[in-house]
Amino acid sequence: MTPLRPPDKTGAVFLDRDGVINEIIFHQELGVLESPFTPAQFHLKTGVAEAIRRIHRLGLKAVVVSNQPGIAMRHLTKRALEAITQKMQEGLRRRKARLDGIYYCPHHPLKGKGKLRRRCACRKPKPGLLFQAARDLDIDLRRSYLIGDSITDIEAGLRAGCLTFLLAHLKCDLCNLMAQRNIRPHYLVKNLANALKKIRLLEGVRYRRS
């Protein structure tokens, strides 16, 4: 008896969280733009739920991969991060959207406290979070995409073998940084909706060639 051929692995769209899924917060006491430290500070960006629904309509998985060093730097607790994550999931659920996986790196190599101060394999620009998600969720990284708003996001996606999208305005400092580090996203896009339009076109081409 001939064994059944296992189904092909699916692709995914990996999403950075802060600046892509939710708004960045200005923390006046620290004088920095950073991720939210409390659930009250967490707000989904406009159009995120629709973008995630589009990801699933394309037959792809939607996975968050995010550095969250605020835990290591004691800006927030693990319980606060869990509450923020729950608010994100509930907000998406109310809008008929869902995430297939959420992966965080809680470490910081320089500013971390205690055991969380270390050089790890999961902190972007290293691709450890993407590799872990691929193992857990049976994802083909070569058929996957990464959408982020920083060079570290893009580098992680490139190192994992994904097509990469940078949400960015064409600012000189960003262009200079990309040139200095010799890192180029595959696509520069204005927002998440534009990234999904391009992915839909790419998936159409891939389907016709298969």
| Residues noted as catalytic | 16, 18
User: Which one-letter DSSP state was computed for residue 93?
Assistant: H
- pLDDT, tens digit, 9 for 90 and up, residues 33-53: 778 999 999 999 999 999 999
Report the distance separating Cα 27 and Cα 108, nearest Å.
19
Look at the chain and report how many structural domains it folds into: 1
Which CATH number goes with the domain that contains 147? 3.40.50.1000
DSSP per-residue string spanning 96-107: T---SEEEEE--
Residue 18 CB partners (closer than 8 Å, separation 6+)? 24, 34, 35, 36, 66
Query: Which H/E stretch holds residue 197?
Result: helix 192-209
171 within domain boundaries: yes
Per-residue pLDDT of the chain (210 residues; tens, 9 = 90+): 333 334 578 999 999 999 999 998 877 776 667 789 999 999 999 999 999 999 999 999 999 999 998 888 888 899 999 999 999 999 999 999 999 999 999 987 777 677 878 899 999 999 999 999 999 999 999 999 999 999 999 999 999 999 999 997 555 456 666 767 778 999 999 999 999 999 999 998 665 554
- Structural domain that includes position 24: 12-209
> With 0-12 CB in 10 A as exposed, 13-18 as middle and 19+ as buried, what is 165?
buried
Give this prediction's pTM: 0.90
57 within domain boundaries: yes
Please answer whether residues 126 and 118 qualify as being in contact, where contact means their C-beta atoms are separated by less than 8 angstroms: no
96 within domain boundaries: yes
Q: What is the sign of the dihedral through the CA atoms of 139, 103, 187 and 55?
A: positive
91 within domain boundaries: yes
139 within domain boundaries: yes
5 within domain boundaries: no
1 within domain boundaries: no
195 within domain boundaries: yes
